[in-house]
Structure 1
């Protein structure tokens, strides 16, 4: 399903699948899929997307990468690392204002600078994604005029090409679960720009189509929405997943009823702290030494723990949480 597609070798795969303590006595067995350990530039889920995005860029003879994100964007940090690995110039469009000096850089911005990226600050608010994307398109045009042959990547790398990374991840995960002796009842993860979600749905549909998963026992794909757009249904996750399946050359379509986004854990906005995320971050740190951040993975885990407390799953179920990374933001 993937061998015909250009792909750069960037991630350390497969990532581990670790057993966690039951968060509730009557609740399910919980497993953590450690996609914070993908290796590239501090790890995180974007490494999987960048393998296909950068593979495409190299195949098209790009000389530079351009992408966009919040001030402490994990995706931007990992794109910077991918560029350093592949010898491509990297330009990052970021929210917020430039720091007064380079020695004031913290977290993901400090790491992006270490990887050699050029950072362009827009002054935009973190949640103003449209404004950031306009700036990305303008810089892409400018670099193209200079002969830099830019490969321009939207926020989160959530294109059809990027989402392929999580179709691969789903197959990898199900094979690990089989080795451990179970089929998960649900796969839970954090979602903002929709690419991880679409990829997981495509991977699930592909495994059902080729008979490796039974439709009735296939795991639910449960997104915890941490951005207003995905919580309101943007982008069209089912449509994006269908496009991924087409690129994979798999004869299957996504049922709209399979697209589940729990929007209750966002808080006031993207990046805004919540008490539930803080509690989930503390639980992860004390239960397994897992580091999660308050913008992304911490909110995702808070949604899973909240659904456990509500009794969605029983003691006989196995639930997997995909830890998508984000720990460098803790140092900001």
Structure 2
């Protein structure tokens, strides 16, 4: 599984912290602190970028190109990876350049030396943004930079491989603390983290290291329209990850659960439950979550707990994927 070029970018393993019981008669909640991966302020993208940048370096690329919303965590962390590896970084961003000095993730990306390309495209129009990324990639290739171009969120099979590895890390930590999670809950937009976790679970079951009857559900809280409508195809992306791991396809539609109730009006549009979850996290454990991604994901996890999906004898892990710099935008 790890016999692939890999750049050392993340601080691993990330902690698994107990968050107590949000409801007295509810399950014990744990946070997998992937906001503490270290790189450029931390977040889940560091795990993906280790494999993506490993390939870029092996190909002799001199520049990284990627795309995201105006306050994209992935773009900020790609900029940090480029700084670490000595690569030029170009970020294709939704929306227009803000007046005055940059804030939040854009401020950090510029500090890391990235060049920002504002498109004026709405943040939810991912297809148009990807076209802009491809156009810029062609332009930079013409300049001889041999750019390595990364789609939205780094959610290719190679990027998602980082979360197949993360699932095994998480299961080892659960065993150490005596937790037997009924579910692993994760926020999903471009789908790579979700697909990687599913592939990691399937691989451990196939290897006999995890009993299929007790393997935790992987429950995604969808925060973008595409993933709530089945785009990308999470099962196919997970099977592509398994292929990279040298294992047969194992995932089907029944393995993929995306709860779309907590997205709100659209991607990057805050919601009242999301803001309440951000406040709960801050006041309960000093955990910082953003309003676009992690806050909405946690709101879904807390709502499912309130609905009684899991009982007092259960453990539930929420994968905290980071995003706090957007709080300062």
User: Normalised by the shorter chain, which TM-score bucket?
Assistant: over 0.9
Aligned-partner Cα distance in 2 for 1:202–1:68:
25
1:281 corresponds to which of 266, 273, 278: 278
Aligned-partner Cα distance in 2 for 1:182–1:43:
25
TM-score, normalising length: structure 1 = 0.98
Question: Are residue 258 (structure 1) and residue 251 (structure 2) matched?
Answer: no
1:230 corresponds to which of 201, 212, 227: 227
Shift of 1:256: 1.9
Q: Deviations over 1:266-291 (max 9, x none)?
A: 00000111000011011100110000
Aligned-partner Cα distance in 1 for 2:122–2:34:
28
SS across alignment from 2:79 = helix
SS across alignment from 1:185 = strand
Q: Deviations over 1:9-28 (max 9, x none)?
A: 00000000000121111110
1:183 corresponds to which of 180, 183, 189: 180
1:221 corresponds to which of 207, 218, 228: 218
1:152 corresponds to which of 138, 149, 152: 149
Retained in 2: the 8 A contact 1:164–1:199?
yes
Aligned-partner Cα distance in 2 for 1:99–1:299:
25
Q: Deviations over 1:227-258 (max 9, x none)?
A: 00000000000001001001111234113201
TM-score, normalising length: structure 2 = 0.99
SS across alignment from 1:319 = strand
Aligned-partner Cα distance in 2 for 1:95–1:148:
24
Counterparts of 1:1-332 in structure 2 under 5 Å?
A: 1-2=1-2, 4-101=3-100, 104-332=101-329
Aligned-partner Cα distance in 1 for 2:237–2:249:
13
Aligned-partner Cα distance in 1 for 2:163–2:283:
28
Aligned-partner Cα distance in 2 for 1:216–1:6:
34
Moved more, 49-58 or 253-262: 253-262
Any unmatched runs of 5+ in structure 1? none
Q: 1:310 to 1:317 in 2, by over 3 A?
A: same
Retained in 2: the 8 A contact 1:209–1:252?
no
Aligned-partner Cα distance in 1 for 2:238–2:94:
28
